[in-house]
Protein backbone atom coordinates (compact mmCIF):
# COMPACT_ATOMS: atom_id res chain seq x y z
CA UNK A 1 0.00 0.00 0.00
CA UNK A 2 1.32 3.41 -0.86
CA UNK A 3 0.69 6.43 1.29
CA UNK A 4 -1.83 7.72 -1.23
CA UNK A 5 -4.09 4.71 -0.62
CA UNK A 6 -4.51 5.59 3.02
CA UNK A 7 -7.86 7.11 3.86
CA UNK A 8 -7.40 10.65 5.05
CA UNK A 9 -9.68 12.14 7.64
CA UNK A 10 -9.63 14.75 10.38
CA UNK A 11 -7.88 12.39 12.76
CA UNK A 12 -4.88 11.61 10.56
CA UNK A 13 -4.41 14.57 8.22
CA UNK A 14 -1.92 16.36 10.49
CA UNK A 15 0.17 13.21 10.85
CA UNK A 16 -0.05 12.72 7.10
CA UNK A 17 1.28 16.24 6.46
CA UNK A 18 4.07 15.66 8.97
CA UNK A 19 4.88 12.37 7.27
CA UNK A 20 5.15 13.99 3.85
CA UNK A 21 7.55 16.59 5.17
CA UNK A 22 9.54 13.97 7.05
CA UNK A 23 9.93 11.77 3.97
CA UNK A 24 10.13 14.40 1.25
CA UNK A 25 11.07 17.63 3.04
CA UNK A 26 14.75 17.05 2.37
CA UNK A 27 14.16 17.85 -1.31
CA UNK A 28 15.88 21.02 -2.34
CA UNK A 29 13.60 24.02 -2.57
CA UNK A 30 13.75 24.85 -6.27
CA UNK A 31 17.48 25.44 -6.27
CA UNK A 32 17.49 27.60 -3.14
CA UNK A 33 19.94 27.14 -0.25
CA UNK A 34 17.26 25.58 1.95
CA UNK A 35 15.34 22.32 1.77
CA UNK A 36 11.56 22.29 1.31
CA UNK A 37 11.11 21.46 5.00
CA UNK A 38 13.44 24.26 6.14
CA UNK A 39 11.63 26.65 3.82
CA UNK A 40 8.18 25.78 5.10
CA UNK A 41 9.29 25.86 8.74
CA UNK A 42 11.03 29.22 8.28
CA UNK A 43 7.87 30.66 6.75
CA UNK A 44 5.79 29.42 9.69
CA UNK A 45 8.31 30.67 12.24
CA UNK A 46 8.13 34.19 10.81
CA UNK A 47 4.33 34.14 10.92
CA UNK A 48 4.45 32.96 14.51
CA UNK A 49 7.03 35.59 15.47
CA UNK A 50 4.73 38.29 14.09
CA UNK A 51 1.91 36.98 16.23
CA UNK A 52 -0.16 36.08 13.18
CA UNK A 53 -3.44 34.21 13.63
CA UNK A 54 -3.12 30.42 13.71
CA UNK A 55 -4.77 30.17 10.28
CA UNK A 56 -1.98 32.26 8.80
CA UNK A 57 0.74 30.34 10.63
CA UNK A 58 -0.75 27.21 9.09
CA UNK A 59 -0.95 28.81 5.65
CA UNK A 60 2.71 29.82 5.92
CA UNK A 61 3.71 26.33 7.03
CA UNK A 62 1.73 24.59 4.30
CA UNK A 63 1.99 27.12 1.47
CA UNK A 64 4.12 24.82 -0.68
CA UNK A 65 2.35 21.52 0.10
CA UNK A 66 1.10 21.68 -3.48
CA UNK A 67 4.50 20.39 -4.58
CA UNK A 68 3.40 17.08 -3.03
CA UNK A 69 -0.09 16.53 -4.40
CA UNK A 70 1.05 13.05 -5.44
CA UNK A 71 1.01 12.19 -1.73
CA UNK A 72 -2.76 12.67 -1.55
CA UNK A 73 -5.64 10.50 -2.74
CA UNK A 74 -6.28 11.04 -6.42
CA UNK A 75 -9.79 12.36 -5.95
CA UNK A 76 -8.42 15.32 -3.97
CA UNK A 77 -5.70 16.19 -6.44
CA UNK A 78 -7.89 15.49 -9.45
CA UNK A 79 -8.45 18.23 -11.99
CA UNK A 80 -5.69 20.29 -10.50
CA UNK A 81 -3.17 21.57 -12.99
CA UNK A 82 0.53 21.76 -12.32
CA UNK A 83 0.27 24.96 -10.37
CA UNK A 84 1.36 24.27 -6.82
CA UNK A 85 -0.76 27.06 -5.31
CA UNK A 86 -4.04 25.61 -6.57
CA UNK A 87 -2.86 22.07 -5.96
CA UNK A 88 -2.02 22.84 -2.36
CA UNK A 89 -5.35 24.52 -1.79
CA UNK A 90 -7.19 21.56 -3.31
CA UNK A 91 -5.62 18.96 -1.03
CA UNK A 92 -6.06 21.10 2.10
CA UNK A 93 -9.62 22.29 1.44
CA UNK A 94 -11.41 19.20 2.83
CA UNK A 95 -9.65 19.58 6.16
CA UNK A 96 -8.76 23.21 6.86
CA UNK A 97 -10.70 26.47 7.29
CA UNK A 98 -11.09 28.67 4.23
CA UNK A 99 -8.60 31.21 5.54
CA UNK A 100 -5.80 28.64 5.53
CA UNK A 101 -6.77 27.39 2.08
CA UNK A 102 -6.95 30.92 0.66
CA UNK A 103 -3.53 31.78 2.08
CA UNK A 104 -2.06 28.80 0.25
CA UNK A 105 -4.08 29.41 -2.91
CA UNK A 106 -3.04 33.05 -3.18
CA UNK A 107 0.66 32.99 -2.43
CA UNK A 108 1.70 32.89 -6.08
CA UNK A 109 -0.79 35.60 -7.06
CA UNK A 110 0.63 37.72 -4.25
CA UNK A 111 4.08 37.38 -5.76
CA UNK A 112 2.75 38.49 -9.16
CA UNK A 113 1.00 41.34 -7.34
CA UNK A 114 4.08 42.52 -5.45
CA UNK A 115 6.16 42.39 -8.62
CA UNK A 116 3.64 44.73 -10.22
CA UNK A 117 3.25 47.27 -7.41
CA UNK A 118 6.68 47.33 -5.76
CA UNK A 119 9.36 48.31 -8.25
CA UNK A 120 12.18 46.87 -6.14
CA UNK A 121 10.39 43.61 -5.32
CA UNK A 122 11.61 41.77 -8.40
CA UNK A 123 15.17 42.72 -7.50
CA UNK A 124 14.66 41.13 -4.08
CA UNK A 125 13.52 37.82 -5.54
CA UNK A 126 15.92 34.91 -5.59
CA UNK A 127 17.14 33.72 -8.99
CA UNK A 128 14.85 30.67 -8.85
CA UNK A 129 11.88 32.84 -7.99
CA UNK A 130 12.56 35.14 -10.94
CA UNK A 131 12.65 32.09 -13.20
CA UNK A 132 9.30 30.77 -11.97
CA UNK A 133 7.71 34.24 -12.16
CA UNK A 134 7.58 33.96 -15.92
CA UNK A 135 5.91 30.56 -15.81
CA UNK A 136 3.44 31.95 -13.28
CA UNK A 137 2.30 34.69 -15.66
CA UNK A 138 4.71 37.51 -14.84
CA UNK A 139 3.76 40.64 -12.89
CA UNK A 140 0.01 41.37 -12.64
CA UNK A 141 -1.66 43.73 -15.08
CA UNK A 142 -3.35 46.87 -13.79
CA UNK A 143 -6.75 45.18 -13.88
CA UNK A 144 -5.45 42.14 -12.05
CA UNK A 145 -3.89 44.39 -9.40
CA UNK A 146 -7.21 46.17 -8.82
CA UNK A 147 -9.14 42.90 -8.55
CA UNK A 148 -6.56 41.39 -6.21
CA UNK A 149 -6.56 44.41 -3.89
CA UNK A 150 -10.33 44.29 -3.52
CA UNK A 151 -10.42 40.58 -2.64
CA UNK A 152 -11.24 39.89 1.02
CA UNK A 153 -8.13 37.80 1.61
CA UNK A 154 -5.77 40.28 -0.03
CA UNK A 155 -3.84 41.23 3.10
CA UNK A 156 -3.43 37.62 4.20
CA UNK A 157 -2.08 36.74 0.78
CA UNK A 158 0.59 39.42 0.86
CA UNK A 159 1.66 38.46 4.37
CA UNK A 160 2.03 34.79 3.48
CA UNK A 161 4.03 35.82 0.42
CA UNK A 162 6.47 37.92 2.45
CA UNK A 163 7.05 35.03 4.85
CA UNK A 164 7.59 32.77 1.84
CA UNK A 165 10.17 35.15 0.41
CA UNK A 166 11.92 35.48 3.78
CA UNK A 167 12.11 31.73 4.29
CA UNK A 168 15.17 30.98 2.20
CA UNK A 169 17.96 31.54 4.70
CA UNK A 170 20.48 28.71 4.89
CA UNK A 171 20.96 27.26 8.36
CA UNK A 172 18.40 29.40 10.20
CA UNK A 173 17.10 27.38 13.16
CA UNK A 174 13.33 26.93 13.57
CA UNK A 175 10.94 24.85 15.63
CA UNK A 176 10.15 21.50 13.99
CA UNK A 177 6.88 20.37 12.42
CA UNK A 178 5.58 18.91 15.68
CA UNK A 179 5.67 22.37 17.21
CA UNK A 180 2.76 23.20 14.90
CA UNK A 181 0.85 19.92 15.15
CA UNK A 182 -1.58 21.08 17.84
CA UNK A 183 -2.21 24.40 16.08
CA UNK A 184 -2.99 22.48 12.90
CA UNK A 185 -5.24 19.98 14.66
CA UNK A 186 -7.24 22.77 16.29
CA UNK A 187 -7.84 24.29 12.86
CA UNK A 188 -8.91 20.92 11.47
CA UNK A 189 -11.30 20.43 14.39
CA UNK A 190 -12.71 23.94 14.01
CA UNK A 191 -13.28 23.34 10.32
CA UNK A 192 -15.04 20.03 11.03
CA UNK A 193 -17.27 21.65 13.62
CA UNK A 194 -18.09 24.47 11.25
CA UNK A 195 -18.97 22.03 8.49
CA UNK A 196 -21.23 20.16 10.93
CA UNK A 197 -23.24 23.25 11.88
CA UNK A 198 -23.51 24.28 8.25
CA UNK A 199 -24.29 20.76 7.04
FE1 LIG B 1 7.51 28.92 -1.02
Give the model's pLDDT for residue 6: 63
- The 3-state secondary structure of 139-157 reads CCCHHHHHHHHHCCCHHHH
Asked if residue 198 is part of any domain, the answer here is no
pLDDT tens-digit series, residues 43-66: 999 999 999 999 999 999 999 999
Residues in the 5 Å CB sphere of ion ligand 1: 64, 164
CA distance 128 to 24: 20
Asked if residue 7 is part of any domain, the answer here is no
Give the model's pLDDT for residue 74: 80
- The closest of 50, 49, 85, 43 to 67, measured between CA atoms, is 85
Q: What spacing in Å lies between the alpha carbon of 197 and ligand 1's midpoint? A: 34
Domain of 133, CATH number, reads 1.10.3210.10
Q: What spacing in Å lies between the alpha carbon of 129 and ligand 1's midpoint? A: 9
Give the model's pLDDT for residue 1: 36
- Output the pTM of the full model: 0.93
Asked if residue 5 is part of any domain, the answer here is no
Give the model's pLDDT for residue 29: 85
Asked if residue 3 is part of any domain, the answer here is no
**Which of 150 and 82 is assigned the larger pLDDT?**
150
Q: What spacing in Å lies between the alpha carbon of 4 and ligand 1's midpoint? A: 23
pLDDT tens-digit series, residues 77-132: 665 556 889 999 999 999 999 999 999 999 999 999 999 999 899 998 888 888 88
CA distance 87 to 38: 20
CA distance 144 to 137: 11
Asked if residue 133 is part of any domain, the answer here is yes
Give the model's pLDDT for residue 78: 60
**Domains contained in the chain, number:** 1
Beta strands in 38-146 (DSSP E): none
Asked if residue 196 is part of any domain, the answer here is no
Asked if residue 4 is part of any domain, the answer here is no
Asked if residue 36 is part of any domain, the answer here is yes
**Which of 156 and 79 is assigned the larger pLDDT?**
156
Residue 73 DSSP label: -
Range of the domain at 135: 13-188
Amino acid sequence: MTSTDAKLDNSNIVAHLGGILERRGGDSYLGEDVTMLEHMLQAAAQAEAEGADPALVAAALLHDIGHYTGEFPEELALEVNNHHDEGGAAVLAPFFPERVVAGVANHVSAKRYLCAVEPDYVAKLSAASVRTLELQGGPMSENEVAAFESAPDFEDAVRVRRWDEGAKIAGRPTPDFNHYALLLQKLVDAHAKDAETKG
